[in-house]
Amino acid sequence: MKFKRLILAALPAILFALPTAQALAQAQEMEIVVWAPADQNERYRFEAVALAANVLNEELKIEGRDIKVTVSARSFAGSQTWQQLKQGFSLAVEAGQGPHIIVGGHEDIPVWGNAGLIYPIEEYIDLEAWPFVDVFPSLWPIMSWNGQIWGVPQDAESRPFFGWIPHLKAIGYSDADVAALPEKVKSGQYTLQNVLEDAKKIQDKGLVEKGYGFYPRATKGGDYWQFYAVQKGGDMIDDTSGKLILDKGALLGYYQFFYDAVFKYEVTKKNHLGMEWDQWYNEVANGKAGLWHGGTWHYARYTRREGLDDFFGTVMFALIPSGGAGGKATTLTHPLTYLISKQAKGEELEIAARLITIVSEPRLNTLHAIASAHLGITNAQTKVSQYSDDRWTAEATDLLKSAFALPNSVDFGQYDTLVWKGLTATWSGDLSPQDAVDTVVKEMAATMGNKVIIR
């Protein structure tokens, strides 16, 4: 009887010990959780991390380390869910239940960095080593905040200016003119003023309907900052002080351009903002608009979903033209970035860093670039055949060299909202461009104080 009781007492202990013993016998499993915003065609944002884990596991085996890394991903399509999940991320990390790796926008760096939710990646990854040594140098400042580099670029893109070639030809452009246009834009010969004039011509010829000559982005977005950045003095951040800048002259040029487009040339609809994206894509991909601006990833949409077969024969793309004297043509890039959250501790942190290093390899990163029509991050990538064989990525990567990004600042949200308000007030005709500038300057000085340099 005593024996039986002894066994009964020992049973829980045995049961408890069993899994532990099993774990000892096998390699230690480590699950790395990745969160990423991804539509179906952007799935390599997280799937490539799983691929990287395969390589890493082999490396660990060679090093004789008893770790088996698995990747569990949580991805969300669509910005609505993604925005919610970004907040979920903040809370989850504070609660100690967040993912180890998160793919964020570069603008998330100051917010999460300041809240202490992410590690400055430069402390854990040798950015002087392969493959990061080969990353386009223009991307690093975009990954930096407060003197440190916090993430590595996941992808890049730019937001070009587009033109419908048949319409351009109809208003007198020759094939050679069209081919030379991107260069003319880049050199500053072709300016936003020319955009308005050409749009007007296209419209006057009846090629497109009224208000379709220049067809901007359908909704609010960082893209609109391009029309500020192409103006003389259109800087957004002071590199030495880290403060935001609002240049009154550039702001006026920006507002004036849209005011002219809507009211003087009438090439843009007064109620354009807020329209449906589905409709917008459909129209620009079918020659219903003359000139417009969009994103490099639109290529995938135009050619796959909207059925634009001869993209290069019908669509011209270039930088956003300069705003005039003193301005420069440029384009916005909004890279996403791999960030390591404070959830990763000890060995997890090391493993997460190594995964990010492997996933940034040209070949792996190219999977995403091609599948989603985004741009690569390294020079070497342009020599990976899958990438270089793709005419779109190959040519569009060129734009990246002249690209700028939105500033990484905790105060950007408020600043952005105010400037956007001025634009919409101008667009609707409620305020003249000058009045809009005055209002925005006044409100910004009042609510943001010395966080912004107004000049």
Which of 204, 390, 411, 435: binder of other proteins (CB under 8 A)?
Answer: 411
Helix (H) or strand (E) holding 260: none
Which of 31, 66, 177, 276: binder of other proteins (CB under 8 A)?
Answer: 276
Residue 375 DSSP one-character state: B
**406 lies in the binding site for other proteins (CB under 8 A):** yes
**Segment 212-231, which members bind other proteins (CB under 8 A)?**
219-220, 222
**Segment 304-343, which members bind other proteins (CB under 8 A)?**
304-306
CB atoms within 10 A of CB 13: 9
**81 lies in the binding site for other proteins (CB under 8 A):** yes
Which of 143, 403, 410, 452: binder of other proteins (CB under 8 A)?
Answer: 410
Q: Which is nearer to other proteins, 51 or 384 (CB)?
A: 51
Q: Which is nearer to other proteins, 20 or 241 (CB)?
A: 241
- String marking each residue 419-438 x if it binds other proteins according to CB under 8 A: -xx-xxx-xx----------
**273 lies in the binding site for other proteins (CB under 8 A):** yes
**d(C-alpha 76, C-alpha 84), whole Å:** 10
Closest CA to 412 of 365, 377, 387, 444: 444
Helix (H) or strand (E) holding 404: strand 403-404
Residue 375 identity (one-letter amino acid):
L
Q: Which is nearer to other proteins, 37 or 188 (CB)?
A: 37
CB atoms within 10 A of CB 343: 23
Residue 118 identity (one-letter amino acid):
I
**Segment 371-390, which members bind other proteins (CB under 8 A)?**
none
For 215, residues 6+ apart whose C-beta sits below 8 A from its C-beta are: 268, 272, 280, 283, 284, 289, 290, 291, 292
Which residue is it, tokens 């020599």? Answer: 383
**356 lies in the binding site for other proteins (CB under 8 A):** no
C-beta of 276: minimal distance to other proteins in Å? Answer: 7
C-beta of 79: minimal distance to other proteins in Å? Answer: 7
Helix (H) or strand (E) holding 437: helix 433-448
How big is the site for other proteins, counted in residues (CB under 8 A)?
82
Judge whether 187 and 194 are in contact, CB under 8 Å: no
Q: Which is nearer to other proteins, 187 or 447 (CB)?
A: 447
C-beta of 363: minimal distance to other proteins in Å? Answer: 22
Q: Which is nearer to other proteins, 200 or 272 (CB)?
A: 272
Q: Which is nearer to other proteins, 141 or 324 (CB)?
A: 141
- Burial (0-12, 13-18, 19+ Cβ within 10 Å), 307: exposed
**239 lies in the binding site for other proteins (CB under 8 A):** no
Q: Which is nearer to other proteins, 379 or 414 (CB)?
A: 414
Which of 34, 52, 121, 125: binder of other proteins (CB under 8 A)?
Answer: 125
Region from 173-181, 245-253, 258-266, 440-448 binding other proteins, contact rule CB under 8 A: 440-448
**64 lies in the binding site for other proteins (CB under 8 A):** no
**Segment 12-41, which members bind other proteins (CB under 8 A)?**
33, 35, 38-41
C-beta of 199: minimal distance to other proteins in Å? Answer: 20
**Segment 132-151, which members bind other proteins (CB under 8 A)?**
146-148
- The per-residue DSSP string of 299-364 comes to HHIIIIIS----HHHHEEEEPBPB-STT---BEE---EEEEEBTT--THHHHHHHHHHHHHTSHHH
**183 lies in the binding site for other proteins (CB under 8 A):** no
Region from 123-131, 178-186, 229-237, 309-317 binding other proteins, contact rule CB under 8 A: 123-131
**d(C-alpha 331, C-alpha 159), whole Å:** 6
What phi, psi does 135 have (nearest 5°)? -65, 140
**d(C-alpha 448, C-alpha 363), whole Å:** 45
